[in-house]
Amino acid sequence: AQSVAQPEDQVNVAEGNPLTVKCTYSVSGNPYLFWYVQYPNRGLQFLLKYITGDNLVKGSYGFEAEFNKSQTSFHLKKPSALVSDSALYFCAVRRALSYGGSQGNLIFGKGTKLSVKP
């Protein structure tokens, strides 16, 4: 069975400091990995994805994530946090299929609340 674990319910960071939001996954075969952000009363917004290639992927708003196959992790990072980054962050996985396609639905983690204080 596929699953995603986000071990921290909340991450607190001071503005200007680096931030990391952790994600580990379990999937048979190769994964497609995603990060989404949810602001209050808003829908889920796509941040970045790993499909193949470089293990370090860059996304919106200065965020990046590192795919580590041996540790089955896909941690979200940002070198310098902003107060406006405070939101709920979701990691998600889809199962890649052998011919290059993927199984349709996303499997989400339970989310990590990021709080950035000035």
Partner 1 sequence: GAGVSQSPRYKVTKRGQDVALRCDPISGHVSLYWYRQALGQGPEFLTYFNYEAQQDKSGLPNDRFSAERPEGSISTLTIQRTEQRDSAMYRCASSLASSSPGEQFFGPGTRLTVL
**Residues lying near partner 1 in the complex (CB under 8 A):** 4, 32, 34, 36, 42-46, 49, 51, 90, 92, 94, 96-97, 101-102, 104-111
- The nearest distance, CB 2 to partner 1, in angstroms, is 10
Let me know the angle formed at the C-alpha of 67 by 52 and 82, rounded to the nearest 5 degrees. 115
- The nearest distance, CB 42 to partner 1, in angstroms, is 7
Measured CA to CA in angstroms, residue 62 lies from 36, 50, 106 at distances of 14, 16, 24
Structure tokens at 41: 């009363």
- Beta partners for 20? 77
Residue number with CB closer to partner 1 (98 or 118): 98
* Contact by Cβ (8 Å): 98, 29: yes
- The nearest distance, CB 79 to partner 1, in angstroms, is 23
Residue number with CB closer to partner 1 (15 or 72): 72
